[in-house]
Chains A and B, each alone.
Chain A
Amino acid sequence: MTTDLERTLAAALRNRADSVPGTPMPVLGEVPPATPHRRGRLLPAAAAVVAAVGIAGAVVALTPDDHQLAPPAHRIGIPADPYELSPGEVYYSRSVRGNGDDDRYIEVEVWQSPRRTGPWQQHAIVGASQRHGRVVPDPHEKPEDTAGTCFPFESAATVGCKQKPSWPVYPSLDFLAGVPSEPGALRAHLRAAAVADAQQLVHDGVLPAGVALSERDLCLRMRSYLEQALAGNGISPALRTAMRKVVASLPGTQVSENVADRIGRRGTGYSLEDPATGERETMIFAGDVFLGTPIEALVHGVAPALGEPPSRLLP
């Protein structure tokens, strides 16, 4: 803990914690167990965060570093369809993130097996600047390398991996392969998922029976599903096009041109305000390619193996 902010933060949290009144531990075994929580709700946030941070969108051109590091295409046998993985190949993605008002960038690379329960690997670095879309590592910050199975979870044994994939929980590769790629059908699919999610809350007694979702709440839910999925792998061009059209069609969406992502790529920004927070979230597309947000740039590709430089990047 080195900064004044961190010290103050720790002190403030301790003060708040100390203000919690003491309560005796109840006698265990005498109270009926609480209503079971929906298991599907335990880890979706982990999925969303890891997906948003660790995996990426798409890019329009190889960076110089990628050209330098990528192995020759003929050695790995690139299929005719760049989105089709050859045996042994894995999805590659990269996220460059920074808030823009300080001098820190984080770059997270992820290699993900096409099998849901297959292995994955992640490499994260921190730096004070970026060059050609790549973070220049801070020599004082050690890179973080992690690995697991069943991305974005640590292993196939985790609760998250055992959950049935869905829009709100985690849209796995096999799940995305089965969703409609026609915009109207996709929108209906998303809307049904958002409504079902709310109905489950009614079923659980969290919401009163008969309550109706506002249109904006539905839209925000649908948009969050799309953003999470677009940040991840396994989106076909047809599905991606449909997803952008759904984003653009959500009521209240404002469209701005020439909006830059974190590494300066520019595209069309689709913004929607969450009335509950007052925050305006912007998704940036170049054509149908999801670039990221004003504080994040996303890149998708294919690598010959876990930990290898990408052999091709995908729009």
Chain B
Amino acid sequence: MGVQLRPVTDAAPLVALLERQWMPLVRLAALLVNDADAAPDIVQDCYEAVWRLQPRVEDADHFAAYLRKAVLNRARSRLRRLRTVRRFLAQHRPDDDEPPADRPVLAAERHRELLTRVDLLPARQREVIILRYYCELSEAETAEAIGVSVGTVKSSAHRALATLRRTMKDFSDDH
């Protein structure tokens, strides 16, 4: 069954905006779910929903923020499901966090170790860390994207950094 589209006179501006945001959002989704293969599906899912709405976009920045929020929600939903699946499969699958051998690996061992620790953070702390330090969003923008208060963002970031600092000994004196 196809998607019913509203009649539009000119979809080109919307397509252009979606094209521009495609790979940044795919990368964001890949970070959020730690799965490069699933990331395009997550973003496409969002895009299909947007496409059905055919919004008139007057502010590209706000639209990008809206898309980011949509990707975040879809990634969150997927992660919650994966977490349950992993619990079921834990006894059969030794290590879900290890990247496949054919996936490009990080050059720096330090980065790899740090990212492994990031992957082990609670979901909300991971989201805050990714939005703050990869997307370089402000605390207010991060709060808007996640749908929580700035205070929660601040406390989540603090907790996450404290955890990383504790587990990464070479950062332990770094404040």
| A contacts, CB < 8 Å to B | 1, 3-6, 8-26, 28-34, 37-38, 41-46, 48-50, 53-54, 97-99, 101-104, 106, 108, 122-124, 126, 144, 146, 148, 152-154, 158, 160, 198, 201, 204, 206-207, 211, 213-214, 217, 220, 275-277
Contacts and interface: CB of A to CB of B under 8 A. Distances in A.
A275 B74 contact: no
Interface string B40-73: 1100110111011000000000000000000001
A30 B2 contact: yes
Contact of A46 (B15, B130, B146): B146
Contact of A152 (B47, B122, B148, B155): B148
A198 B148 CA distance: 26
A20 B77 CA distance: 21
Contacts of A106: 154-155, 158-159
Contacts of B87: 214, 217, 220, 276
Size category, B interface: 35 or more
20 contacts: A5-B168, A10-B136, A12-B108, A12-B111, A13-B31, A17-B27, A20-B23, A25-B22, A29-B2, A29-B48, A41-B80, A41-B81, A50-B149, A123-B151, A124-B154, A144-B154, A148-B149, A153-B147, A154-B148, A207-B88
Nearest to B171: A5
Given A15-B108, A25-B18, A99-B163, A217 B88 contact: yes
A28 B18 contact: yes
A16 B3 contact: no
A17 B166 CA distance: 25
Given A3-B174, A153-B147, A50 B84 contact: no
Interface of B: 1-3, 5, 15, 18-19, 22-23, 26-28, 30-31, 36, 39-41, 44-45, 47-49, 51-52, 73-74, 76-77, 80-81, 83-88, 90, 103-108, 110-112, 114-115, 118, 120, 122-124, 129-130, 133-134, 136, 143, 146-152, 154-156, 158-159, 161-166, 168, 171, 174-175
Nearest to A25: B22
Given A33-B48, A54-B152, A9 B133 contact: yes
B152 A49 contact: yes
A12 B77 contact: no
Nearest to B104: A19
Contacts of B39: 20
